[in-house]
Amino acid sequence: MKIGIDKIGFYTPHIYVDMNKLAVARNVEPEKFTIGIGQDKMAVPPITQDSVTLGANAALEIIDQADKEAIDFVIFGTETGIDHSKSGAVYIHHLLGLKPNARCVEVKHACYGATAGIQMAKGHVALNPESKVLVIGSDIARYGLNTGGESTQGAGAVALLISANPRIMTLENNSVSLTADIMDFWRPLYSDKALVDGKFSNEQYISFFQKVWEKYKEETGMDLEDFEAMCYHLPYTKMGLKAMRTVLEDASEEVQERLKEHYRVSTLYNRNVGNIYTGSLYLSLLSLLELNDDIKAGSRIGMFSYGSGAVGEFFSGILEENYKEHLLVKEHKDLFESRKEVTVEEYEQIFEKTLPTDGSNIELDINEDSATICLSGLTDDMRQYVNKM
Ligand code: CAA
């Protein structure tokens, strides 16, 4: 039985900051951010968006009535959840109006959570071929103003519907995972900002990629020429390229050119959003699938998932016949075009605006936010959500 990705939804907040302007404000040459890091725009989450609303908005655009009846498992991958106990999946289940007899959980391991969710979903569908699983990767990447990681922040979510006989991509069964207890990036429970050893995290990302790729080749007998494209977890768009470059010389000139060109296409969305942690790899896949004009059905796409701390995985999928017809190219073009730029000063004010943590109530103005699902306030320590539909 074929199991894989049947639909892909995406959401990012309606405002962004321009990386050239952020560079000027930070006394950095703009090319460092746009070329060295590889980011043009960075999504800015308003206070009315959190990982739950971003995830729910991403899922909203792909879920129809038949899906609502078939989804029996919601897996919410996030590392910026809103509660230490209750899962974000339960809020999303409610906001989307899914059927009561469904399982809902939150899965965490840094940026790897959605990949873990996809593998769990695959196993679930293998045992229950009629079921559909909603897997969401949703995050707000926060390092802090004027920090080394600031240029690699972002916000957004990707929602994937995993089912039998998928219309976009069948996931292959070969996959190689790797785990090692390292401290390259983490976020203690008391902090709303990530802590990171930037250079070490880059080195570990590359080393994890090399190790899982080598083992994957050994186990499958496949090589670079068997892949039409490779998508990477993209904390910033230069990162995957740095990893890919370390293995490219094994391939012919033609294969190298193809992989480099497809890599470029796979970074276009991420370049304008920033890091969305758990969703980043899948945003890159979406960028490749929606913006390429030469990748045919039957092509194999490699995917490298990396969650600091660290868990990495290399796996692959085969594109289905007419996969393009099941993508929301126009909707995503409109989403990008409808965004508004904020100044660096406005971004800083929005960044500093946080919800009360002392038990006091707050009512938020949701009229400024064009999203369908918003956070409208906090009452007795409980987040209040609205679906404007
Ligand atoms: N023109 C062109 N390029 C320039 C330039 C200019 N004027 N000035 C600098 N650059 C280049 C540098 O040469 C460098 O390129 P290479 O890496 O290819 O050599 C690049 O810009 C970045 O410069 P620095 O290394 O000096 O940048 P930095 O020290 O300020 O920090 C960073 C970069 C470490 C990524 C930092 O932003 C950071 O800590 N980010 C958060 C951590 C992160 O994203 N890690 C990635 C791996 S971990 C992961 O993947 C999980 C996750 O999601 C967090």
Angle of helix 237-248 versus helix 253-266 axis, rounded to 10: 170
Side-chain half-sphere of 210: how many Cα atoms within 13 Å? Answer: 13
User: Which residue, judged by its Cα, is nearest atom 25 of ligand 1?
Assistant: 199
298 and 331 fall within a common domain: no
Q: For ligand 1, is residue 135 a contact (CB within 6 Å)? A: no
332 and 319 fall within a common domain: no
Query: For residue 271, what is the domain's CATH number?
Result: 3.40.47.10
- CA 233 to ligand 1: nearest atom: 50
Q: What DSSP assignment string belongs to 94-109? A: HHHT--SS-EEEEE-B
Report how far ligand 1's centroid is from the alpha carbon of 206 (Å). 13
Q: For ligand 1, is residue 247 a contact (CB within 6 Å)? A: no
Q: For ligand 1, is residue 277 a contact (CB within 6 Å)? A: yes
Regions of the chain short of the pLDDT cut 50: none
The reported pTM is 0.98
84 and 229 fall within a common domain: no
Structural domain harbouring 59 = 3-168+327-387
Residue 11's closest CA among 384, 282, 335, 288?
335
Q: What is the C-alpha end-to-end distance of the chain, expressed in Å?
A: 37
192 and 260 fall within a common domain: yes
Among 323, 351, 372, the domain-final residue is: 323
Task: Please say whether the beta carbons of 103 and 73 come within 8 A.
Answer: yes
14 and 124 fall within a common domain: yes
- CA 151 to ligand 1: nearest atom: 37
106 and 199 fall within a common domain: no
Task: Please say whether the beta carbons of 147 and 168 come within 8 A.
Answer: no
Residues forming the active site = 79, 111, 233
59 and 187 fall within a common domain: no
pLDDT value of residue 263: 98
pLDDT value of residue 250: 84
159 and 33 fall within a common domain: yes
118 and 189 fall within a common domain: no
What number of H helices and E strands is found in the chain?
13, 17
119 and 76 fall within a common domain: yes
Report how far ligand 1's centroid is from the alpha carbon of 187 (Å). 20
Report how far ligand 1's centroid is from the alpha carbon of 190 (Å). 26
Summarised one tens digit per residue, pLDDT across range 302-321 is: 999 999 999 999 999 999 99
Long-range Cβ contact pairs of 369-372 (< 8 A, separation 24 or more): 369/13, 369/14, 369/46, 369/48, 369/49, 370/14, 370/338, 371/11, 371/13, 371/14, 371/48, 371/49, 371/53, 371/57, 372/57, 372/60
In b/e form, how buried is each residue of 44-79, taking b as 16+ CB within 10 angstroms? bbbbbbbbbbbbbbbbbbbbeeebeebbbbbbbbbb
Report how far ligand 1's centroid is from the alpha carbon of 198 (Å). 8
11 and 149 fall within a common domain: yes
| Token reading at 56 | 């729910």
- Tokens 């109530």 sit on residue: 361
Among 306, 323, 340, the domain-final residue is: 323
31 and 87 fall within a common domain: yes
Cα separation, 198 vs 265, in Å, equals 26
Among 308, 323, 338, the domain-final residue is: 323
Task: Please say whether the beta carbons of 374 and 358 come within 8 A.
Answer: no
Total structural domains in the chain? 2
